[in-house]
Amino acid sequence: MTFLVVTIGIFAGAVVSGLMGFAFSAVAGAILLHVMPPTDAVPLMMACSIIPQLSSLVTLRHSLKWGGSSLLIIGGVLGILPALYLLQHVDAAIFRTGFGAFLILYAGWMQFRPALVRVEISSGRLRDAFVGFGGGLIGGLTAMPGALPVIWCDLRGMPKDQQRGLVQPYIVAMQLLALTLMFSRHCISRETLLNVTLNLPALAAGTAIGLIMFRKIDDALFRRVLLAVLLLAGLTLAL
């Protein structure tokens, strides 16, 4: 029964990750953390989440914007460094709760905001790097590096293809960095790798369904789902 629940959680996370490009851990964690201790669930989610990310990267390769993504990635790598320091010297739980409350307020406000009203924010090298830095810093403390860049794209009113093309390489880079750090600290056990292997069919099916849904929905519905996922992510962090 526990394995079935874990598989359902991983499948659900893969669907959302394939559809939105992020939030695998937010969705899967809402299920897995009820049947597994965090010390087992978090490494499993981190190891599993890279598969939908890489699959999305390959599937959406024609939409990728490597120029803008590289600035986000550089900023994100620099943001990880102070996050690792803060993890040892501050109460990360308080920060996670506060950031979760921010996501809840943002998603709730934007859901009821008139659709035609947009915030006029122009892109720029410094702005993109700063957003990437903030995503890396927040990701190091909350395991959600993609939340801030996604909000940045939403505020600028980007179409779904343009948004995924910009943010997807960034999230993949942050995930690979996080996995490298976890392997270096021996946080990924053989049991975790076995669990990932056993759930490969659920990951593949969920990712495929999510990517098909991404192709089918329009920009307006994509944004509604995105805000709902941000709301769920905020609830997961806050509660």
46-73 tens-digit pLDDT:
889 899 999 998 888 888 887 778 999 9
Cα separation, 175 vs 73, whole angstroms: 11
Cα separation, 230 vs 226, whole angstroms: 6
Residue 11's pLDDT is: 96
Q: What is the pTM of this model?
A: 0.86
8-35 tens-digit pLDDT:
999 999 999 999 988 888 888 888 888 8
> Collapsing DSSP states into helix, strand and coil, what is residue 23?
coil
Average pLDDT over residues 97-122: 76
Cα separation, 107 vs 164, whole angstroms: 19
Triad 52, 233, 29: Cα angle to 5°: 60
Residue 116's pLDDT is: 44
143-157 tens-digit pLDDT:
788 899 999 998 888
Q: Read out DSSP for 178-228?
A: HHHHHHHTT-S-HHHHHHHHHTHHHHHHHHHHHHHHHHHS-HHHHHHHHHH
Average pLDDT over residues 181-202: 87
